[in-house]
A and B are shown apart, each in its own frame.
Chain A
Amino acid sequence: MTKNNNAEYLKALETESIYIIREAYHKYRDKLALLWSMGKDSTALLHLAQKAFFGKVPFPVIHIDTTYKFKEIYEFRDRLAKKYGLRLIIAKNTSALKKNMSPAKNRYRCCQALKTDALKLITKRYHLKAFLVAIRRDEHLIRAKERVFSVRNKNFKWDWRNPSLEIWSEYSDTSMDKSSHLRIHPLLAWREIDIWQYTKKVKIPVVNLYFSKKGNRYRSIGCQCCCQAVPSTASNISKIIAELNTTKIAERSGRCQDKEKTYMMQKLRSLGYM
Chain B
Amino acid sequence: MPNLIKIVVAGDVNSGKSTLIGRYLYESGSLNQGAIEDIQQVCKNLERNFEFAYLLDSFQEEREKELTINTTQCFCKSGKRNILFIDVPGHQELLKNMLSGASHADTAILVIDINKPINDQTKRHAFILKFLGISNIITIINKMDICNFNQAEFLRTKKLILDVFKNIGIEFQECLPVSSSQGENLFKRSKMMPWYKGKSLKELLDNIKIKKNPDNFRFLIQDVYKKGGENIAAGILSSGRIKKKSAVFVYPEQKEFRIEKIKYFNKSIRFAKAPLAIGITLNNNYNLKRGQVLCANHLPKITQTILAKIIITRPINPNTALSFHCATQNEMVKFKRVDQIWDTANLLPKKGPLKINDLAQVILETAHKVVTEKYQDSHSLGRFVLVDSRQKISAIGVIL
Contacts and interface: CB of A to CB of B under 8 A. Distances in A.
A249 to B, nearest CB: 5
Contacts of A78: none
Nearest to B325: A172
B227 interface: yes
Nearest to B234: A22
Interface string A247-272: 01110010000000011001000000
Given A26-B223, A144-B72, A249-B32, A172 B393 contact: yes
A51 B236 CA distance: 13
Main secondary structure on B side of the interface with A? mixed
B265 A250 contact: no
A144 to B, nearest CB: 5
Contacts of A161: 61, 69-70
B276 interface: yes
Interface in B90-119: 96-97, 99-100, 103-104
A196 B121 CA distance: 42
Contact of A144 (B74, B223, B232, B390): B74
Give chain B's interface residue range (CB within 8 Å of chain A).
Answer: 35 or more
B33 A249 contact: yes
B396 interface: yes
Nearest to B59: A266
A23 B387 CA distance: 16
Interface stretch (B34-42, B157-165, B345-353): B34-42
B1 A263 contact: no
Q: Give the residue among A18, A161, A165 with the most B Cβ atoms within 10 A.
A: A165
Interface residues of A, number: 54
B1 A163 contact: no
Interface in A206-250: 248-250
Contacts of A6: 1-2
Contacts of A191: 75
A52 interface: yes
B199 to A, nearest CB: 24
Given A141-B58, A161-B69, A163-B70, A170 B385 contact: yes
Interface string B248-282: 00000000000000011110000000011101000
Contact of B383 (A12, A51, A168): A168
B2 A52 contact: no
A55 B393 contact: no
A23 B70 contact: no
A15 B263 contact: no
Given A14-B277, A145-B59, A160-B59, A172 B391 contact: yes
B222 interface: yes
Contact of A138 (B34, B75, B96, B236): B75
Given A5-B1, A18-B277, A145-B71, 12 more contacts: A9-B1, A9-B2, A15-B275, A19-B236, A54-B227, A55-B266, A167-B99, A167-B385, A168-B103, A173-B392, A194-B1, A248-B32
19 contacts: A14-B276, A15-B236, A15-B237, A18-B277, A19-B222, A22-B223, A26-B222, A50-B265, A52-B234, A54-B263, A137-B73, A141-B56, A144-B72, A167-B99, A167-B385, A173-B392, A174-B391, A248-B33, A250-B34
Ordered nearest first, which 8 A-B pairs have the shortest CB separation?
A141-B58, A18-B277, A5-B2, A175-B391, A250-B32, A15-B275, A165-B96, A167-B103
